[in-house]
Chain A
Amino acid sequence: EPEVTQTPSHQVTQMGQEVILRCVPISNHLYFYWYRQILGQKVEFLVSFYNNEISEKSEIFDDQFSVERPDGSNFTLKIRSTKLEDSAMYFCASSEGEGYGYTFGSGTRLTVV
């Protein structure tokens, strides 16, 4: 069964450093998403991406965050200057169309120290 692949599975970074989280969505999917889950809390929407541009973003997704689809297969989330409160599990997801369920990756656990 097709799956969404995320790397790395776990990343530890120092506060203020830049991190790039990588995702390979399912190849025929057109919609891409990032969500995050702070430990033990709700799964929160960050951003959606379609047709090579952001279609929606949440209040969390401020100027420190950016997304890119650099080569037609990867989908990346960059956090420019990490803060302690950015520590969370970050999930990438893709979908083949509106109203369809999302397929999620296994997540990247980001720990900011």
Chain B
Amino acid sequence: GNSVTQMEGPVTLSEEAFLTINCTYTATGYPSLFWYVQYPGEGLQLLLKATKADDKGSNKGFEATYRKETTSFHLEKGSVQVSDSAVYFCALISLQGGSEKLVFGKGTKLTVNP
């Protein structure tokens, strides 16, 4: 079945450090890929997405490139801020059994210290 594997957290960085959160996937067909973010005490917000191979999603300084050859969608940011502290979820949508559903990874908690 479809699944998403994310790097285990928690991740702790200093402000202005470089961030990478690894995400790999297993899916039938050609999934669409997403990163969602959950700030403390809040719901899930779509951060960025990519719908086909080699697409790059970007938002708020975050980027992720859909790599079909390595089945990966790693999240990167060149310089993190304290306000980026949150839980980040990699997710995919792929038609399965005739209907689609969004499948999440386990989430990676990021803490950015001043």
Q: Which of A42, A48, A99, A106 contacts B104 (CB 8 A)?
A: A42
The answer on a CB contact under 8 Å between B97 and A104 is no
Asked if B69 is at the interface (CB within 8 A of a chain A CB), the reply is no
Asked if B22 is at the interface (CB within 8 A of a chain A CB), the reply is no
Asked if B26 is at the interface (CB within 8 A of a chain A CB), the reply is no
Inter-chain contact total with CB atoms closer than 8 Å: 54
- A43-B104, A43-B107 in contact; A56/B99 too (CB < 8 A)? yes
- A42-B104, A43-B89, A98-B100 in contact; A105/B43 too (CB < 8 A)? yes
Q: Which of A44, A56, A91 contacts B97 (CB 8 A)?
A: A56
Which residues of B sit under 8 angstroms from A91, Cβ to Cβ?
43-44
The answer on a CB contact under 8 Å between A104 and B43 is yes
CA distance in complex: A61, B47 (Å):
28
Chain A residues touching B, range: 20 to 34
> How many residues of chain B have a CB within 8 Å of chain A?
23
Which residues of A sit under 8 angstroms from B102, Cβ to Cβ?
33, 35, 45, 93, 101-102
Q: Which of B36, B44, B97 has the most CB of A within 10 A?
A: B44
The B-contacting residues of A in range 66-113, CB under 8 angstroms, are 91, 93, 98-107
Which residues of A sit under 8 angstroms from B79, Cβ to Cβ?
none
CA distance in complex: A107, B103 (Å):
18
A39 to chain B, nearest CB (A): 12
Asked if A14 is at the interface (CB within 8 A of a chain B CB), the reply is no
B98 to chain A, nearest CB (A): 8
The answer on a CB contact under 8 Å between B101 and A42 is no
Asked if A17 is at the interface (CB within 8 A of a chain B CB), the reply is no
Asked if A55 is at the interface (CB within 8 A of a chain B CB), the reply is yes
The answer on a CB contact under 8 Å between A104 and B45 is yes
The answer on a CB contact under 8 Å between A101 and B44 is no
Which residues of A sit under 8 angstroms from B89, Cβ to Cβ?
43
Q: List residues of A whose CB falls within 8 A of some B CB.
A: 33, 35, 41-45, 48, 50, 55-56, 91, 93, 98-107
Q: List residues of B whose CB falls within 8 A of some A CB.
A: 32, 34, 36, 42-46, 49, 51, 89, 93, 95, 97, 99-107
5 chain-A/chain-B pairs, Cβ below 8 angstroms: A91-B43, A99-B32, A101-B32, A101-B49, A102-B102
